[in-house]
């Protein structure tokens, strides 16, 4: 399963979410499908995309939030699973693209290539719903179901370790950040 196909399969639904992604391939691939003002790409600070999603979800309980995390990033901040589970905001969907690799920095294998089971870790951390998906159809239905059930869900999506040739896009980090905040202001002022 390709991460890009997963993103494409839910791209139209993402209009209704606040979207936070990790750096590297995830950010570049989502932008390749078309940037929107409700997408925020955390281009560094590995591990903090899920924390950012948690902050957004707790502060905007009526707004759906989705985080596109990765195995390398999540492994740097496993404690975030326990913090998310503790507060379990219903409006938060946590997707982890697990390619068993630190793809953006040379493709070195992560611990998930050697048996570390993120689904098991997330479940044991107390995330109320955790699923692993291996094909695009199931990925799409898992994302839709998380929203319909209105329950904090971690979706571990097993994907192939391949990505775009480069990661720098023409969207500056600050432009993205100011646009994202203005977008949320426009939602909350109505």
Partner 1 sequence: MPVSFANSKLIYETLKECDIRLVSTLPETWLVHLIRMTDEDPEMTLVRLAKEEEAVGISAGAYFAGVKSAMLMQNHGFLASINGIVSFAHLYKIPLLMLISYRGSLGERDPWQTQGGNVTEPVLRALRIPYFFLDSIDSVKKRIREAQILAESSLQPVAILLTRDLMWEE
Interface residues with partner 1 (CB under 8 A)?
Answer: 18, 20, 40, 42-60, 77, 79-80, 82-83, 86-87, 173-174, 177, 180-181, 184-185, 188
Based on CB atoms, which residue is closest to partner 1, 153 or 176? 176
* DSSP string of 128-155, one letter each residue: SEEEEE-SHHHHHHHHHHHHHHTS-EEE
Retrieve residue 5's tokens. Answer: 């196909």
What is the spatial distance between Cα 114 and Cα 99, in angstroms, rounded to a whole number? 12
Decide whether 18 or 118 has the Cβ nearer to partner 1: 18
Strand partners, 41: 21
Two structure tokens written together for 51: 């924390």
> How far apart are CB 8 and partner 1 at their closest, in Å?
26
Least distance to partner 1, CB of residue 37, Å: 12
Which CB atom, from 105 or from 174, has the smaller least distance to partner 1? Answer: 174
| Residue in this structure with the two tokens 């399969």, named with its chain if needed | 9
CB of 10 to partner 1, least distance (A): 21
């Amino acid at each position: 399963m390709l991460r890009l196909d997963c993103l494409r399969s839910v791209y139209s639904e993402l209009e209704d979410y606040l979207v936070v992604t990790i750096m590297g391939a995830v950010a570049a691939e989502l932008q390749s499908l078309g940037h929107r003002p409700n997408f925020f790409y955390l281009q560094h600070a590995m591990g903090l995309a899920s924390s950012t999603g948690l902050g957004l979800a707790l502060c905007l309980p009526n707004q759906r939030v989705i985080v596109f995390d990765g195995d390398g990033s999540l492994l740097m901040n496993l404690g975030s699973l326990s913090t998310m589970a503790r507060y379990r905001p219903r409006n938060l969907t946590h997707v982890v693209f697990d390619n068993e690799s630190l793809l953006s920095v040379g493709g070195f294998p992560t611990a998930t290539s050697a048996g570390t089971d993120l689904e098991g870790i997330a479940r044991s951390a107390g995330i109320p719903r955790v699923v692993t998906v291996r094909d695009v159809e199931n990925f799409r239905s898992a994302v839709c179901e998380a929203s319909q059930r209105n329950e904090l869900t971690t979706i571990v999506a097993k994907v192939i370790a391949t990505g775009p040739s480069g990661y720098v896009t023409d969207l500056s980090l600050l432009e993205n950040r100011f646009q994202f905040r203005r977008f949320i202001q426009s939602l909350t002022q109505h």
